[in-house]
A and B are shown apart, each in its own frame.
Chain A
C-alpha cells in the first residue's frame, strides 16, 4: 500500500507545503491494510492551503462519500508535480483566489452544499477542467483506489482461470456448448 506517511522529511522541507490526515473509515478496506492510520504528503510547488483546497475541490467534482482523503491526495500530488515550473501553477492559484472571493474569503470554511454552489459556475473553466481531467486519471489509477473500488489490477497478471473468472453464482450457470469448455 502506497500510503504516504508522516516523516521528518515532510517537516524539514524548505519550500512547498504538505497535506496530512487520518484515515476516517477505520473498518474500510484501505484502513485494514494500512500499517498506520495517519498519512502525509509533501508538496513541492503548492502551499499546504492550496493543497487542501484542491483536495476539497476534487471531492466535489468526484464525490465518493466513503473514499479516504488519502486517495484524493493522489490528485493533489499529481497537480503539484505538473504545476512545477509550468503555467498550471498560476491557473490553480488564480482559481483558488476566485473561489475564496466568491465565498466571502474562505471557500474551505463553507459547508458541502455551499462549496458546490460556489464551484459549479466554474465548471468548464480552465481551472476546473485542469483539476477534473487530471483527477479522472490520477484518482482512479492507484492501488488505494483499486482496493477501495474492488478492482484487482495487476493481480490479474497471473490469470483468473483458477481465481474466480467464473465464480458468479447469483445467476444460473449457462450450459455447454454455449458456455464453452474449461481447459482441464
Chain B
C-alpha cells in the first residue's frame, strides 16, 4: 500500500491550504512541521513515488530511475559545461527529492560563516554578504534537526563503524596531524526511530534500501500524512504561481501525471524545488505586475548561484581497499574548514571519503579522458581510496540561473540555464585541497594520485538568497520573500553564502524554524 492511498485530500478550490512545492529536505520537512501544528498542506512533487523496495543496486539504472533528467542548459567557464552540458546538477526527481540520494553528512555551519562578509572582508568579484541570522538564532533548530534525523555523535547516537576507505583516510590524516572520525551522519548506527541500522551496502547515492539513512520519503512525509493535514501529490510538476491584484499569491498551476493542467488554490506557497527549479519557477511566473518574475524586484532571483568548491582525490595502493563497500561518506576531516587567508583563499573546506562503483568511476574520474593513464586508474580499481573536497565557493552576481527561452521542457516551459564561472578563490581552494588530499594518501603509500573535477552538483545553493535589505536578496531570515508576504523560499536557494558544510542539516533546520514562523504569522492573520 502506498503512503498516499488513504491520505486526507483537499479540493483544488480550497484556498485555505498551504502549498509546498517539492518534497525534499526543505519541502518535506516544512510540510510535516506545518501538518504537525494542524495546518493543512498540499505537497506538489514533480517526481514519482518510489519506495525503498524499488531502489536499485545498480548505478546507471538507479540514475535513470531517480535523477532529475529534464533538460537544462549550461554556460560559463566551469568544466561541467563542457563535460555534461545538459547535466549541471545531480539531484533527484522523486518523492523525497535529493534526500533519497544524499550521503547523510550532517554538519553544522560554523558561527563565523554566517558573517562571511564581516569575517572575510570584501573579495573582488564576489558578492559576499552576512546572513540575516546568526549561529545562535539557528542553534536550537540544529539541535531539533539532529534529534529528528538521528545524527551520529549527537544525542547519544553512536558513530558509524568505519569502512576500509575510512581506514585509509584516518591513517593518512594522523600522518598530517589532522583529526578524523566517522562523522556526523544522519544514518542509523543502531536500530532507531523505527528504522534499520546501516548494513554498509555502499549504495547511499542510489537510495537507502534499509531506510537507515534519513530521507523525508520515509520519515517526514508519512508522518505528516498520518496527521490528516497533509496531502502528497506525486508527479505534479509546477509550472507557475498566480497572484491577485494586491500582489499576494493565490494559486499554483501544475501538470499532473497525465500531463493535464491543474490549478490548486493556496493561502500561502512555499517553494522548495532545489536551487535550479526554485528560481526557474519564480521567473516562469512573471506577470504584468511582476514583469521580471515573482519576488524579483531586486533582480536577485537566480543570481549568486553556488555549488560548493568541490573536487575529488583518488589514490591507488599496493593492496586492496574495496572503497565501494560500506557508507559512501565514511570519514570526515574538518581541519581545513576554518578561515585562514594565509592559505591563499578565504573560507575553508571539508575532506570526506567518497566512493564510486566501477560504472561511475569510469564516468566521473576524468570525463572525456581516454588512453593508458585513464585505464591505468581503472586497472587499480580494487586498490583505490577516495575523498571528496567540499568547500565554500563565493557568491557572484553573474553566476546565475536564467530562463533559456530557446529550449523548452515537455510542458513547453523554458528550461533553466545555469551559468557558472569559478572565482579565483574557488580555484585556489580546490588546488589546496588537491595538494592536501594527495599528501595525505602519499603518507600511507599511495602509488598513483588522480585529481577528479567536480561532479554534476548535488549542492545547489543561493539563487534566492536571504538578506537583511530587500535590495541584496530575495527573502528574509525566515525565507519569506521581501516582496510577497505569503510566498516563501524553503530550500537551499535561501543560503546567503555556501559555507564549507554539506547543506542538508541547515536546510532542515531552516525549514523547522520557518514552519514555526509561518504558523505564528497565520495565527496573527498576517498571511
Contact = CB atoms under 8 A, between A and B. Distances in A.
B203 A157 contact: yes
Contacts of A139: 362
23 contacts: A63-B375, A139-B362, A149-B378, A149-B379, A149-B382, A157-B57, A158-B201, A159-B200, A159-B210, A160-B163, A160-B200, A160-B202, A165-B325, A166-B164, A168-B167, A168-B319, A171-B168, A172-B171, A174-B170, A174-B180, A180-B152, A180-B159, A181-B161
A30 B163 CA distance: 28
Contacts of A180: 152, 158-162, 181-182, 189
Contact of B164 (A64, A66, A167, A183): A167
Contact of A160 (B170, B190, B210, B326): B326
Contacts of A173: 167
A136 B424 CA distance: 32
A153 B56 CA distance: 11
Interface residues of A, number: 44
Q: Is the interface of A mostly helix, strand, loop or mixed?
A: loop
Contacts of B470: none
Interface in B360-393: 362-363, 368, 370-372, 374-375, 378-379, 381-382
A140 B57 contact: no
Interface string A84-105: 0000000000000000000000
B444 interface: yes
B321 interface: yes
Given A64-B378, A174-B162, A158 B359 contact: no
Contacts of B166: 166, 174, 179
A177 B190 CA distance: 15
Contacts of B444: 171
A159 B324 CA distance: 11
Contacts of B317: 170
Contacts of A132: 368, 370
Contacts of A160: 163, 199-202, 325-326
Given A151-B324, A179-B181, A182-B161, A171 B202 contact: no
A30 to B, nearest CB: 14
A154 B62 CA distance: 12
